[in-house]
């Protein structure tokens, strides 16, 4: 079981690390980096499903018999480009948020947002609690 599925499990670990960063970390930029890590795990998992042992890249040449499947590669090629496009938009929004509020930490953003009821908690309080 391990010998045939170890690739999937290690890629799940990469995906879950990225997911943990997106959920737990409060810094917007760190979340975006964690999202990239998550994406990388998903892309590798998807492409590993199309791999054939002993095959080669799906570029037809007369002296190769087995090819890996081209369709997952097409879909992931699209996904990579879409991923960087969304990263760019996310980063642009982070820059504007920083210019408007002076911070990219979630707790500080909620505290400084005039539309939110003031909770009184900031990232500085989290630091105090950590110590």
- The answer to whether 100 contacts other proteins (rule: CB under 8 A) is no
The residue from 42, 63, 65, 66 that contacts other proteins (CB under 8 A) is 66
Residue ranges in 3-42 that form contacts with other proteins under rule CB under 8 A: 3-21, 23-27, 29-30, 32-34, 36-37, 40-41
Encoded tokens for 89: 């938009």
The nearer residue to other proteins, 93 or 118, going by C-beta atoms, is: 93
Integer Cα distance of 66 and 34 in angstroms: 36
Residue of 34, 31, 32, 28 lying closest to 99 (CA atoms): 28
- The answer to whether 2 contacts other proteins (rule: CB under 8 A) is no
The nearer residue to other proteins, 26 or 112, going by C-beta atoms, is: 26
- The answer to whether 89 contacts other proteins (rule: CB under 8 A) is yes
Residue of 48, 56, 35 lying closest to 9 (CA atoms): 48
- First-to-last C-alpha distance (Å) of the chain: 44
């Amino acid at each position: 079981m391990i010998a045939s599925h170890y690739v999937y499990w290690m890629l799940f670990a990469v995906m879950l690390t990225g997911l943990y960063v997106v959920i737990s970390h409060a810094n917007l930029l760190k979340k975006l980096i964690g999202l990239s890590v998550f994406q990388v795990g998903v892309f590798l998992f998807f492409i590993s499903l199309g791999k054939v042992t002993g095959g080669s890249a799906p570029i037809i040449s007369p002296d190769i018999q087995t090819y890996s499947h081209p369709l997952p590669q097409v879909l992931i090629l699209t996904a990579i480009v879409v991923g960087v496009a969304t990263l760019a938009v996310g980063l642009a929004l982070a820059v504007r948020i920083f210019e408007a509020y002076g911070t990219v930490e979630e707790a500080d953003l909620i505290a400084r947002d005039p539309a939110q009821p003031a909770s009184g908690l900031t990232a500085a309080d989290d630091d105090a609690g950590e110590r």
